[in-house]
């Protein structure tokens, strides 16, 4: 598979006249060939128009046919073999083993949604049979199910070149529900994006799907994305990235003549609460495991634990963690912007009047960002550990800002109430974690009750990094962790984001979708007259 640097517009390739840019190897500190060309306004329009035209055919395919498509994509991704691994590794500085694992997860996600749509019950089919004899008015026959929204724009994430990018969970769930997808490559790994994009395009072509079910656009400076979000043929957007980026795009989506659903996952500090008995009995192990979670993937996870709340005294735990942070070698981050932003954020936090630098090499980090310098050192970042007290944390909301990278903030509470207060003052987060005994959990039932209103997932005696792709997973949370906390971008419910219910009243059997016919030809679970039945 030769990279061309051109967008994929249905079954055609884009031109090479748009603004060009190069991928950058953050470990080696060098640009990578070939050049990539930004999609032109005409190409964006063509991708949107093809997507809209393909929608009527694609949405009416049987679940099994779309499942075949998703499985083909998974197979094609795997068939890319080491070509994909090598390119992704160079573009992200993530280790090959991580990329291989992420590819497996990405393929599994596609097969996970394939299984869901093949089985078919996800459409939430509901049937209320009519009663022409009812008084004072006849009861109509009403049947409804979830149906797709239309073309979905998917923005790739910097930190998951596969699982949250071109062929990632947003694309998989949008395609599964019956929506065409226009993916936007992240500038940080365009070659990986092109390889994944070709895998999807080939799968669509092999299956004879209408042109436009999938397109991939390149974007040198975040202008293509804006045009895409405002395009009248685009009916929903999924984005994973910064709060600033998500907020700006969300405003565009909301101020269109026809506002559209906009799903942004925007970052989270994922507070960890260490209850007294856990601290007493396993401070050493907790420090070790927390260090692993904080520095995993150079801390570049949306579930990275960025705030750790203990009940004082936690000196031994803090000392152990500091020692581990001190020993952590500098590692290349995903790209120059992320490394620069990390340095600036760490530098700012070091200077905060209520915060103490407690480990890692913040003194190395203090140096001014050298954004003009393209050398490999410019992308390397060291771990950073900070400490504050609960009262200061509560009084300074800026301490809840995510530092994207291998950094965390220890918050020392003086009392149970102090700890609960930290929980009460937390903004919305993707996750919260509690370490303790079962007895702790009973005694801190009010902590759970608070966290239930603040986060999408609560973890007991584990760590938030590592999001299991399963039916029950919730990877979402109240604002500002996402733009729309009613949803999840991982797990079975992710498909629901790209649907809406449609009802059919007094329709003859032959005009109903198979999911709603009397005989239940697809054998799916349905609610008939209020009762679940197959």
Active-site hit among 43, 194, 265, 515: 265
Cβ proximity to a second copy, 200 vs 266, nearer residue:
266
Nearest 5°: phi and psi at 432? -140, 150
- Establish whether 379 is a catalytic residue: no
Minimum CB distance to a second copy, residue 433 (Å): 9
44, 153 Cβ separation under 8 angstroms? no
What does the alpha-carbon distance between residue 355 and residue 371 come to, in Å, rounded to a whole number? Answer: 26
User: CB count, 10 Å around CB of 97?
Assistant: 10
3-class DSSP assignment, residue 367: coil
Which two tokens mark 517? 């016919």
What does the alpha-carbon distance between residue 407 and residue 307 come to, in Å, rounded to a whole number? Answer: 9
Cβ proximity to a second copy, 329 vs 534, nearer residue:
534
What does the alpha-carbon distance between residue 149 and residue 403 come to, in Å, rounded to a whole number? Answer: 35
Cβ proximity to a second copy, 368 vs 509, nearer residue:
509
3-class DSSP assignment, residue 169: helix
Minimum CB distance to a second copy, residue 513 (Å): 9
Closest residue by Cα to residue 164 from 191, 149, 186 = 186
What does the alpha-carbon distance between residue 134 and residue 126 come to, in Å, rounded to a whole number? Answer: 20
Which two tokens mark 365? 């980090």
CA distances (Å), origin 525, targets 16, 421, 433, 499, 532: 50, 44, 35, 18, 7
Active-site hit among 302, 379, 402, 515: 302
The phi-psi region of residue 106 (left if phi > 0; otherwise alpha if psi is between -120 and 50; otherwise beta) is alpha
What does the alpha-carbon distance between residue 34 and residue 170 come to, in Å, rounded to a whole number? Answer: 27
Minimum CB distance to a second copy, residue 493 (Å): 6
Cβ proximity to a second copy, 368 vs 529, nearer residue:
529
Cβ proximity to a second copy, 251 vs 414, nearer residue:
251
Minimum CB distance to a second copy, residue 477 (Å): 8
Cβ proximity to a second copy, 221 vs 442, nearer residue:
442
Q: Which residue has the tokens 């929608």?
A: 55
482, 266 Cβ separation under 8 angstroms? yes
Dihedral sign from CA coordinates of 272, 276, 278, 281: positive
Minimum CB distance to a second copy, residue 519 (Å): 17
Which two tokens mark 239? 């984005």
Exposed / middle / buried, residue 185 (Cβ in 10 Å: 0-12, 13-18, 19+): buried
The terminus-to-terminus CA distance of the chain in angstroms comes to 46
Minimum CB distance to a second copy, residue 226 (Å): 18
Cβ proximity to a second copy, 5 vs 241, nearer residue:
241
Cβ proximity to a second copy, 16 vs 520, nearer residue:
520
150, 50 Cβ separation under 8 angstroms? no
Minimum CB distance to a second copy, residue 181 (Å): 17
Cβ proximity to a second copy, 7 vs 483, nearer residue:
483
Strands 499-505 and 30-37: unpaired
- Establish whether 470 is a catalytic residue: no
What does the alpha-carbon distance between residue 485 and residue 506 come to, in Å, rounded to a whole number? Answer: 36
Question: How many helices (H) does the chain have, and how many strands (E)?
Answer: 16, 23
Closest residue by Cα to residue 185 from 325, 279, 47 = 47
What is the H or E stretch that residue 289 is in?
helix 276-295
Cβ proximity to a second copy, 252 vs 358, nearer residue:
252
What amino acid positions are annotated as catalytic residues?
265, 302
């Amino acid at each position: 598979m030769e990279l061309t640097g051109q967008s994929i517009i249905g079954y055609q390739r884009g031109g090479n006249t748009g603004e060009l840019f190069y991928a950058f190897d953050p470990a080696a500190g060098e640009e990578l060939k070939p050049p990539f060309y930004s999609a032109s306004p005409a190409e964006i329009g063509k991708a949107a128009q093809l997507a809209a035209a393909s929608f009527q055919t694609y949405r009416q395919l049987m679940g099994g046919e779309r499942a075949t498509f998703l499985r083909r994509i998974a197979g094609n991704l795997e068939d890319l073999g080491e070509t994909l691994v090598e390119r992704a590794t160079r573009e992200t500085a993530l280790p090959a083993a991580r990329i291989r694992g992420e590819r497996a997860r990405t393929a599994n996600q596609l097969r996970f949604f394939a299984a869901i749509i093949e089985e078919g019950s996800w459409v939430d089919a509901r049937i209320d049979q009519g009663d022409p004899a009812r008084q004072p008015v006849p009861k109509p026959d009403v049947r409804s199910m979830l149906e797709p929204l239309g073309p979905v724009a998917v923005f790739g994430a910097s930190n998951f070149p596969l699982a949250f990018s071109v062929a990632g969970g947003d694309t998989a769930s949008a395609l599964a529900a019956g929506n065409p997808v226009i993916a936007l490559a992240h500038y940080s790994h365009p070659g990986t994006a092109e390889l994944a994009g070709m895998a999807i395009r080939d799968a669509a072509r092999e299956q004879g799907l209408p042109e436009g079910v999938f397109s991939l656009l390149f974007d040198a400076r975040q202008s293509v994305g804006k045009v895409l979000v405002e395009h009248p043929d685009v009916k929903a957007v999924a984005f994973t990235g910064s709060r600033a980026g998500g907020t700006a795009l969300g405003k565009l989506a909301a101020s269109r003549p026809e506002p559209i659903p906009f799903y942004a996952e925007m970052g989270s500090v994922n507070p960890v609460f260490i209850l007294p008995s856990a601290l007493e009995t396993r401070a050493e192990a907790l420090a070790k495991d927390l260090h692993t979670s904080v520095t995993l993937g150079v801390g570049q996870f949306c579930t990275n634990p960025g705030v750790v709340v203990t009940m004082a005294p936690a000196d031994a735990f803090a000392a152990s963690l500091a020692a581990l942070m001190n020993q952590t070698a500098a590692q290349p981050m995903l790209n120059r912007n992320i490394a620069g932003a990390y340095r600036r954020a760490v530098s700012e936090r070091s200077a905060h009047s209520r915060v103490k630098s407690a480990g890692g090499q913040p003194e190395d980090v203090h140096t001014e960002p050298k954004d003009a310098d393209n050398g490999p050192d410019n992308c390397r970042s060291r771990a950073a550990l900070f400490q504050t007290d609960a009262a200061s944390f509560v009084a300074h909301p800026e301490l809840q800002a995510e530092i994207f990278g291998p950094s965390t903030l220890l918050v020392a509470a003086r009392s149970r109430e102090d700890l609960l207060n930290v929980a009460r003052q937390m903004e919305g987060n993707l996750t919260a974690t509690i370490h303790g005994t079962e007895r702790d959990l009973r005694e801190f039932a009010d902590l759970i009750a608070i966290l239930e209103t603040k986060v999408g997932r609560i973890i007991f005696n584990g760590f938030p990094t590592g999001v299991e792709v399963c039916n029950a997973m919730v990877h979402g949370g109240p604002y500002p962790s996402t733009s729309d906390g009613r949803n999840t971008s991982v797990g079975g419910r992710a498909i629901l984001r790209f649907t809406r219910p449609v009802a059919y009243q007094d329709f003859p059997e032959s005009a109903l979708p198979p999911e709603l016919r009397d005989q239940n030809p697809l054998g799916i679970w349905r609610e008939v007259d209020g009762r679940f039945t197959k």
